[in-house]
A and B are shown apart, each in its own frame.
Chain A
């Protein structure tokens, strides 16, 4: 006979404010099998857990129901407590009377009745629960890091330095990410390249890091400790094992200096074979097939690029034998086995340009980005400020190359603007706008810098002092108010706005307008979310397992998040999160085996094997999304003759989704911990 204990949590006021917990306890004592029931203010606290353990021992409980929050929050906590009192943890269940009851109801009587019903259902299930033993699986001590920005670089170095192999995948021809595009960094004004490029070199020269650039993760299979990853290495037209990075091909390209490149945000010009920037890692060029004369001619003639006679000047210029330029190079798919994955796919920058069909955001047409060349984004302005940028650090207008004398900076372009599709703050713009205005004033001492802002968010070490310095020492004019319109007039830009502190309209004639545009979850982050099946919020930022207590873990075990793929972040935050993700990976790699939840499907095999009710139709095999169903042949033990073919679940692959259970025609598969008997008892309890 079951002996069940019920523990009702108040969760402070969260539950007790709506549910009469004492009434739930009284009701629970009447339920079949319940021999003990108690309520307490914080059941998850130390005293609460001690209370649970003591009750298990004193009342010789065979099952526990904790009526509290969501099992996602504290199931593990209470199962550990039960195990501490020598009760099999799978005999402890949670009834969610917070998220699914007190938080969503106002009527105290009805909520109390519902809470009691939820407890009754769980008590009926627990009475039928069976003890389960965790499954032990081996852990592959290698990690995949997706994204080679500062977060990915930091995570890769931390894991590799601890002695484990790392596979780093980057979509672009070089690692470095957006940080490599920045000029100076707030609030210290140290040079972004100077602090980043040594780390890039560390990655390339690390014996335990395998770097794949121009590559994307195509698919991910398996589970924590045992992921199988397929990586597509896009053909670059350059054999990286032969190339020495001399740059002769880049110089020979007839299109040199004609194509607007991504790295300079369209402001600089490169050739069809190019290295994105001088400090690129690896220092290997790649061919831009959409623009290369030879690839274009080959496509037109319908021949292979290797057989085409057009151009080929880069190959002629290559001083190596055999030539490193290989027009016949094809994409390669590489398979890797890893135990953990760090996603560090970063962000993109919103521009405010006219939206393309399917874009989730509205444009900011009133600022004229994309219409007037002297309206640029903050990232473009970084390139203009950068000593290695298209203007060697001089603030020259894109339209005519004249030095800008007056610049208007507009904060919160997109960010915090529900009408444009954004509800969030991009967090870094207040700071980089102050930095931009300051650097411009340093470069053009008699120039005017004007900032239009909503309010200044400068929370962070040394941040507010930095903004004050821009205002007080560098004479940057700050207007609290929005800009309604930017339009060209007489070769300059008229910026119409308002100063809400003096309630006066403001009109500024500027040479350039810099938009502090929002950070958005980039295509890299969206495609990683698709390949890995990760959850994202409405804006596309990847969801962490718990917003406060598990900020670097995804909801999928073994997959961790680092950097701005999870939400807008500045450099130190991205680095800190990457370090935290790396430490989670290292904790996982600290053992050779890990324990998995035994919630897996099992094919009914009680009695002599030939009596299994499985008919071997294998409908389950076709339905399984994780390829966890195998075929087992049952042989006569004496003659060895095959009697029957039945399905068998590979427990290390099964994720316990239950799809096979629902398609099985002979009812021969059950999900451990969620058997038909248990679930129906739960449903029928009320």
Chain B
């Protein structure tokens, strides 16, 4: 696609929910550290595969821009005055804004006949103030990409509901209650697979699906794939290389006709 994806050298955890729920300054500093590293290493965009990470980076940038006192403290803590010139984006946003035409031109094996439920979850488009991308409640960008891959998007209403992944360890009962309507309505819409762009959603909907099936008393068997895996399939990349063999719910039927 004419671009090189580089891993940020010496990156650290953004602290995600643990930091921002307990200590705002810590959350800002952890994000600023990664942004400062990115700027020092010559990057202007930091793409985080996890929308909570990219959201935390954007939230820190916003907090620093609006609070000179906090900025001075955070810069002292991180030990760098840099990082303000880096834009944080999530994976879906980056693909839609920068790679859409390239993906379209590179499709080798269109996913014809595959019906895909595009699931955004709660954070890919929210909060709109920080994400500034697509419509928060009725987004369309993932459907646009899926269509370009030759697959058919399934129209299901739970696209931007929360799957509860933050509680997948601590309160799995609540998670089953949240996952069930998402998987069931995707299934009812005729989807062969759920496509996600958040690693937490992927893990949660895939790993907890057996619990949901037990609760519902019925077999759902709906594979949950990452958007990059679908793109890879349409581009003709090997299934094993794409990690499609390592899912909880089998992905064998995720393919073009």
Contacts and interface: CB of A to CB of B under 8 A. Distances in A.
Interface of A: 354, 362-366, 368, 371, 419, 485, 487-489
A489 B135 contact: no
22 contacts: A354-B135, A354-B138, A362-B128, A363-B135, A363-B138, A364-B137, A365-B135, A365-B136, A365-B137, A365-B138, A365-B160, A366-B137, A368-B138, A368-B157, A371-B138, A419-B129, A485-B161, A487-B157, A487-B158, A488-B157, A489-B157, A489-B185
Contacts of B157: 368, 487-489
A362 B138 CA distance: 12
Nearest to A369: B138
Given A354-B138, A365-B136, A485-B161, 10 more contacts: A354-B135, A363-B135, A364-B137, A365-B160, A368-B138, A368-B157, A371-B138, A419-B129, A487-B157, A487-B158
Contacts of B137: 363-366
Nearest to A353: B138
Main secondary structure of the interface of B (DSSP, over half): loop
Interface of B: 128-129, 135-138, 157-158, 160-161, 185
Nearest to B139: A365
Nearest to B158: A487
Contacts of B185: 487, 489
Contacts of A419: 128-129
Nearest to A352: B137
B173 to A, nearest CB: 16
Nearest to A363: B135
Contacts of B129: 419
Nearest to B127: A419
Contacts of A371: 138
A368 B129 CA distance: 20
A426 to B, nearest CB: 21
Contacts of A488: 157
A364 B137 CA distance: 7
B63 to A, nearest CB: 18
A388 B168 CA distance: 55
Nearest to A493: B157
A419 B160 CA distance: 18
Contacts of B160: 365
A109 B228 CA distance: 66
Contacts of B135: 354, 363, 365
Most buried by A among B128, B137, B157, B160: B137
B97 to A, nearest CB: 16
Contacts of B128: 362, 419
**What are the 7 A-B residue pairs with the smallest beta carbon separation, nearest first?**
A365-B137, A487-B157, A365-B138, A366-B137, A365-B135, A354-B135, A488-B157
Contacts of A368: 138, 157
Nearest to B140: A354
Nearest to A368: B138
Most chain B beta-carbon contacts within 10 A, residue among A362, A365, A368 = A365
A371 B156 CA distance: 12
Nearest to B128: A362
Nearest to B159: A487
A208 B60 CA distance: 65
A365 to B, nearest CB: 3
A41 to B, nearest CB: 42
A44 to B, nearest CB: 41
Contacts of A354: 135, 138
A33 B253 CA distance: 96
A371 B137 CA distance: 11
Contacts of A485: 161
A176 to B, nearest CB: 34
